[in-house]
Amino acid sequence: MRLSKPKKHPVIDERLCKKCNICVTFCPKKVLDARTSSAPAVARPEDCNACELCILRCPDFAIDLEEAKER
Amino acid sequence: MSQGRVRLLQGNEACVEGALAAGLRFFAGYPITPSTEIAELLSERLPRIGGKFIQMEDEIASMGAVIGASLAGLKAMTATSGPGFSLKQENLGYAAYCEIPCVVVNVQRVGPSTGMPTSPASADMQQARWGSHGDRPAVSFMPSSVGETFDLAVMSFNVSEQLRTPVVFLLDEVVGHMRESVTLPEPGSVKVVDRKKPTVPPDKYIPFAGEADLVPPMASFGDGYRYHVTGLTHNERGFPTQDAKVATRIMFRLMEKVLRVRKQITFVDYHHVEDAEIVVFSYGSMARPSLRAVRDAREQGLRAGMIRPATIWPFPAEEVRRAARNARAIICPEMNMGQMALEVERAVGPGTPVLRLPKVGGELHTPSEILEAIKGA
Amino acid sequence: MPDIWKYIRKENLPHIWCAGCGHGIVMGAVIRAIDRAGLDQDKTVVVSGIGCSSRAPGYLDFNTLHTTHGRALAFATGIKLARPELNVVVITGDGDLAAIGGNHFIHACRRNIGITTVCFNNSIYGMTSGQYSPMTPKQKLASTAPYGNIDRAFDLCELAKASGATYVARSTTYHTTMLINQVTKGLKRQGFSFIEALSQCPTYYGRRNRLGAGAAMMEWYRDNALTAQAYTKIAPEERGEKFVIGDLYAADEPEYTQEYQKIIDRLAGGGAAG
């Protein structure tokens, strides 16, 4: 039986992301890492607490949260 | 029209009556002599029939509000004179390009600039065609009597709705302020044209795609058709485009949608032109002394005639050319420096001299002045 | 989490705004506020003027109207008076609203007409490549202020309040949750609501004045925004570039189109005109 919310992690739409790295800068859990010529990497998805601040602050509508797949 | 009621009306009043008979339900304007009576009368009449009146902070805002109201589904009008007409040009161009039906009344006074607010002129004729930047189609009517003011006000709305284009309704201060006896048609007996509405569901609606008549149906904001309107050069779906082919296609359609019905919207009167040697080309209040002069000339044995366009734009070039084909001179009495004379010259070609008779001091021509010109031609 | 995609014309994305520009954040806040306020999508009209922020309506799936520079409020007034049941939202920028649009701004406030106006204030004319606006602070650089701006900036919220707006608020792209709440409040209120949203322009204002990229400019908002209470506790000479955010003013006054309807109703009931 589940005792907690299902884990979520960010997914980024490469086509819409303009690589401004606002999501990287303001993630309270430092889930994301900036990369030079592509969208940020979701480096530590397990740390995501689904606060949704990245979604609110993404200017490009490029980031969303998806439920983590069960292992 | 059926037998109606006889009233003594001012020209501006007749404009109001015609507009209301045609379905006007929104007016936004700003006071400016000699058009202010139109605003005052509508402030009183519109709320009585559930219509809306607002005095905006300036002429530019008035034109904007008129466009907004038309998009929301109401037949909308504004009224002004020279200085206000100048202010409206940007938004007028917007209305033409975005195909917004509306009527802009210009009761012309002496200009340029502040001019003589209470004295007549007809010096905004070319501005009615070209006043806004860029290309746009133009439709303008100009009455010569109070009764015709009513009829052409109705026509302005009907053509505006049929073609989805603004109509500039030109008066001059004489017609605007004079009083004549008018037989108003019975309420409900006036033929009213409404804009076409879409017959397809919202997901199939293409807001700027012309139908067979080159006019797109117009959905009202709030009726379930969520579309985009922009003054940026746009495509048929209403979104901005840099595509030269699309921009060209839409521009040509806008022009053609008016020109293809040119004959239907061209109203010209002819007096004694069949055998006329001297033809007087006259419009607006100037047509009154012109007709008197032509009749006096005939009584004195001179073969004079008059062409009187009530449709100013598109300019009735074909009609002028045909009516004046036997004339050896054309006289243009205008309360400007020869604005429509330019069009007459272009229409008749170099073979027929066009004589200008400008009166730019705020006075209407007298019949004897025009008669003198006929004799001296 | 609301499904905001139903409010977006996805086929028109990616939008034209630069990487790091705050306008997408403010637009997202407006969408979320419309959703939270429960507005009927078909009955909502979004009107804008000219400028970077004014491109927003093209991406939004409502009845959208992109007008002439400075004139959004005039067009919006016509729509709202013609059909008061429609929800009318104006999206504008600092130049569009406060320079060429200044007159229409103060009169819309004065009428207290039921329109919610969100000003995407980036303190610059972005679309035309970085000239100063009436919101560019003194001494900042711009393409037409190469020696430092000598103009003072408006306080748009004070201007709105003094002109008669009945809800006035300010937030920033950093304070997104607050911004969503403010726009929601404005949409639910009857009269003229004005929300100023500070939004970064990293490409022109930011670069010219060495303020860093989008994220850095948002950090500056975070570090310099204060509530009105906190602001008053700082001595004037120490305030520097600090600014106030939050709900700044709210009042209940008759809404313009409702007042006009009273005239119509009175006349219909056979009442006297005056």
Which residue ranges of chain B lie beneath pLDDT 70? 1-4
Do B50 and B144 have their domain in common? Answer: yes
Do B24 and B172 have their domain in common? Answer: yes
Kindly report the average pLDDT of chain C as a whole number: 97
Contacts of A35 in chain C (CB under 8 A): none
Q: Is residue C53 part of a domain?
A: yes
Considering chain C, what percentage of its residues have pLDDT values greater than 70?
98
Q: Which helix (H) or strand (E) holds B271?
A: strand B268-271
CB C107 to CB B76 under 8 A? no
Do B286 and B144 have their domain in common? Answer: no
Q: Is residue C138 part of a domain?
A: yes
Q: Is residue B33 part of a domain?
A: yes
* Other beta carbons within 10 Å of C243: 18
Q: In this complex, is the C-beta atom of C1 within 8 Å of any C-beta atom belonging to chain B? A: no
Q: Supply the angle between the helices C23-36 and C176-188 in degrees, to the nearest 10.
A: 50
Do B174 and B303 have their domain in common? Answer: no
Cα–Cα distance measured from residue B68 to residue B166, given in angstroms and rounded to the nearest whole number: 13
pLDDT of residue B168: 98
Q: What is the CATH number of the domain that holds C74?
A: 3.40.50.970
pLDDT of residue B1: 44
User: Exposure pattern of C85-121 as b/e (b: 16+ CB <10 Å)?
Assistant: ebbbbbbbbbbbbbbbbbbbbbbbbebbbbbbbbbbb
Q: Domain ends where: B162, B184, B206?
A: B184
Considering chain C, what percentage of its residues have pLDDT values greater than 90?
97
Report the number of distinct structural domains present in chain C: 1
Q: Is residue B9 part of a domain?
A: yes
Q: Is residue C118 part of a domain?
A: yes
Q: What is the CATH number of the domain that holds B32?
A: 3.40.50.970
Report the number of distinct structural domains present in chain B: 2
Nearest one of B122, B97, B103 to B111, comparing CA atoms? B122
Per-residue pLDDT, averaged over A23-33, amounts to 97
Q: Is residue B101 part of a domain?
A: yes
What is the span of the domain harbouring residue C245? 4-268
- The CA distance from B27 to the nearest CA of chain C, in Å, is 9
CB B72 to CB C43 under 8 A? no
Contacts of C15 in chain A (CB under 8 A): 60
pLDDT of residue A69: 75
- What tens digit of pLDDT does each residue of C186-224 get? 999 999 999 999 999 999 999 999 999 999 999 999 999
Contacts of B59 in chain C (CB under 8 A): none
Q: Is residue B110 part of a domain?
A: yes
Do B178 and B284 have their domain in common? Answer: no
Cα–Cα distance measured from residue C263 to residue C82, given in angstroms and rounded to the nearest whole number: 15
Q: Is residue B218 part of a domain?
A: no
Q: Is residue C273 part of a domain?
A: no
CB C213 to CB A18 under 8 A? no
Q: Is residue B339 part of a domain?
A: yes
Q: Is residue B230 part of a domain?
A: no
How deeply is B188 buried, as exposed, middle or buried, from its count of CB atoms within 10 A (0-12, 13-18, 19+)?
exposed
Q: Is residue B372 part of a domain?
A: yes
**Residues with Cβ within 8 Å of residue B212, at least 6 apart in sequence:** none
Question: Which pTM value belongs to this model?
Answer: 0.97
User: Chain A: which residues have CB within 8 Å of chain C?
Assistant: 15-16, 18-22, 24-26, 52-53, 55-61, 65
Cα–Cα distance measured from residue B309 to residue B323, given in angstroms and rounded to the nearest whole number: 12
Ordered by where they begin, the domains of chain A are: 8-62 (3.30.70.20)
**What is the token pair recorded at B374?**
């006929």
CB C107 to CB B61 under 8 A? yes
- What tens digit of pLDDT does each residue of A50-64 get? 999 999 999 999 999
Cα–Cα distance measured from residue B320 to residue B342, given in angstroms and rounded to the nearest whole number: 13
C-alpha distances in angstroms, B28 versus B36, B63, B242, C233?
Answer: 12, 7, 34, 47
- What tens digit of pLDDT does each residue of B180-239 get? 999 999 988 999 999 999 999 999 999 999 999 999 999 999 999 999 999 999 999 999
Contacts of A25 in chain C (CB under 8 A): 215, 218-219
pLDDT of residue A37: 86
**What is the token pair recorded at B31?**
């006071």
Nearest one of B81, B76, B142 to B108, comparing CA atoms? B81
Q: What is the CATH number of the domain that holds B321?
A: 3.40.50.920
Q: Which residues pair with B254 in a beta bridge?
A: none
Do B72 and B177 have their domain in common? Answer: yes
pLDDT of residue C245: 98
What is the span of the domain harbouring residue B311? 269-376
